[in-house]
Amino acid sequence: MAADSGDIVAKILLRSARDPFDVIEADDPRAWGIGFYGTNVGNLLFADSTHRLLSVPGTEIVANRFAHERRAFTADEVAATDDEYDHFVVPLANALRPEFTRPLTRLTAFIEQISIPTTIVGIGAQLSLEELDTRPDDELAALHRRFMNSVLERSSKVGVRGEITAEYLRRLGYGDEHVEIIGCPSIYLNGPELTVRDERSAPIADDDPVAVSMSPLTSPWFETYVDAFADRHPHMTYVGQTHHDFAMLQWGRHRQPEMGFDRDHRLYAEDRTRMFLDAGSWMRFLATQRFAFGTRIHGNVAAVLAGTPAMVIAHDSRVLELCDYHGLPYTMLDSFRAGTTVDELFQAADYTAFHNRLSEGWKRLTAFLDDAGLENVAQPGRSAAAYDAELAALEPAAPVVTLRGSGDDALRRIEDRIHALKTASEHADTAAKRREKELEKTLAASLKSHGKRIAALEATTRKQQTRIERQARRLGRQRALIKQLRADLARHQERAGLRGMVRRVRRRLGR
């Protein structure tokens, strides 16, 4: 996306699942499966924020749609990237973890082959709190070193999320000269001016709207405490973020058992579950909530960006280091007890440190971009005004809701889903027929081409066969001639032998 209609000076390839101006509704097949957000809509926040940071006049930004880590790529694609783009910018989250090995391997291979500058924005390690001082196994460490080396050949430093990641990379041999702590760019989606409401003078009432998020590893916490919170707070909403949540909401498919939440859960059965497919609609909903809490770091960041206080439930290094760096209020997962209430979490959500660190964090992030040679909205005379205006003009996607409800509304939802499936099926049939016709056309052309090649080969074969037959006849004549010459030679040798014998007899008689 170009920041304005002026001449394009720089063109940036951005690691992003989709362009922020591409509004996708739940009935769009692009939202199915792992969709346009990877496996977690939290990916949209830090990618969109980086997109906005770089959306200055004269810069065009193109989302790579995760192409370079989802599939293999060709030498032609590498060459086209070098020819077409001036910079590859890569916002990342908890990429230094075993589960991200395959995508990171592909991404590393791509970076190794391109020649344009490459900048990593906000990569993090994911470690359990018991593993903060451990080293990865040799194979994983080798991959992480290969990734770091490939990037450092194309940039002066790698931007990481926090001190835990920096320390992890020190154990792999990368010091402060290689690494810059910049936090997560998602915090600055709307710039450095951000105020989180402080309404702690009035406690959370039972009927106040509150939002909760959950990551898979913390499902026991969810089952133990959130179920109790749901009893006390009838307007508490579970806000899902993953493709599993989407499938459960859109099609009624059960989530994986280990997730601790499925369509039999009361928050689904009572139509108290939502999911959002773009950052704007996500933040608009959270702005209507009195409070948010949970183990999803970006679920809480989305609330903060909306001005709603949130409490992060920290359970691993990726969450803890971001809370420490940005001053986000958090409590440790293992600190929960049976009597913990939502209001206790709310009262502990002090955003003084967060507000105090915003300006310095913004300066550090944008200075990192400056050093990388990336023009950005913090530079004098630069702004994202065109980006903001274009985004504000869009109609945000509707939230993904359950198939439950009451009365006509519930029936309407089911009808809408059936219609979406029917439409998608018809589109799939049409596309399949189109592909079938294209395939038939391709096969016919291929058959014709192969027929011509076969005919040409047959003609060539016939010519070669005639040539071989002529050569065989010539060879036969030559063999007959050689045979005759050999016979003549034998006769001459025989005659020469008789003449020699006569001479010897005469010499003896003469004696």
- Could you report the per-residue pLDDT of 84-123, keeping only the tens digit for each? 999 999 999 999 999 999 999 999 999 999 999 999 999 9
pLDDT at position 101 is: 95
The encoded tokens of residue 391 equal: 């985004």
pLDDT digits (tens, 9 = 90+) for 457-470: 888 888 888 888 88
State the pLDDT confidence band at 14, using cuts at 50, 70 and 90: very high
Amino acid at 48: D
Q: Does position 495 have pLDDT exceeding 90, yes or no?
A: no
DSSP 347-390: HT---HHHHHHHHHHHHHHHHHHHHTT---TTSTT---HHHHHH
Max mean pLDDT range (59-73, 198-212, 213-227, 241-255): 198-212
Q: How far apart are the first and last CA of the chain?
A: 123
The band of 78, judged by pLDDT with boundaries at 50, 70 and 90, is: very high
Q: For residue 269, is pLDDT > 50?
A: yes
Backbone angles phi, psi at 399, to 5 degrees: -65, 150
Candidate ranges 148-152, 277-281, 458-462; pick with highest mean pLDDT: 148-152
pLDDT tens track for 305-325 = 999 999 999 988 889 999 999
For 298, the 3-state DSSP assignment is helix
pLDDT at 2: 44
pLDDT value for 38: 84
Judge whether residue 297 has pLDDT over 70. yes
Average pLDDT, the chain: 90
Please give the Cα distance from 147 to 169 (Å, whole number): 11
Q: Identify the pLDDT of residue 277.
A: 94
- Judge whether 237 and 209 are in contact, CB under 8 Å: yes
199: pLDDT strictly greater than 70: yes
Starting from the edge strand earliest in sequence, which strands make up the sheet with 330-332, in order? 330-332, 310-314, 291-294, 210-213, 236-240, 273-275, 400-401
pLDDT reported for residue 37: 84
Residues of the chain with pLDDT > 90, as a percent, come to 60
Residue appearing with tokens 């198939």? 403
Residue 130's pLDDT is 72
| Residues sharing a CB contact under 8 Å with residue 376, sequence separation 6 or more, in sequence order | 53, 54, 56, 366, 369, 370, 382
What pLDDT is recorded for position 498? 72
Each residue's pLDDT tens digit, 409-429 = 778 888 888 877 777 777 667
The reported pLDDT for the residue numbered 428 is 64
Give exposure, 323-338, as e/b (b: 16+ Cβ within 10 Å).
bbbbbbbbbebeeeee
Mean of the pLDDT values across residues 349-368?
98
Q: Which residue has the higher pLDDT, 32 or 186?
A: 186
Lowest mean pLDDT among 78-82, 163-167, 257-261: 257-261
Domains of the chain as residue ranges with CATH: 10-191+356-393 (3.40.50), 210-352 (3.40.50)
Q: Supply the pLDDT for residue 210.
A: 98
DSSP 106: H
Q: How many Å apart are CA 322 and CA 93, to the nearest integer?
A: 11
Taking only the tens place, the pLDDT of each residue in 445-454 is 878 888 888 8
Element of type H or E holding 422: helix 407-510
pTM of this structure: 0.81
Distance CA 92, CA 460 (A): 59
- What pLDDT band is residue 292 in, cutting at 50, 70 and 90? very high
Q: What are phi and psi of 40, to 5 degrees?
A: -150, 125
Query: Where do we find the tokens 């001082």?
Result: 133
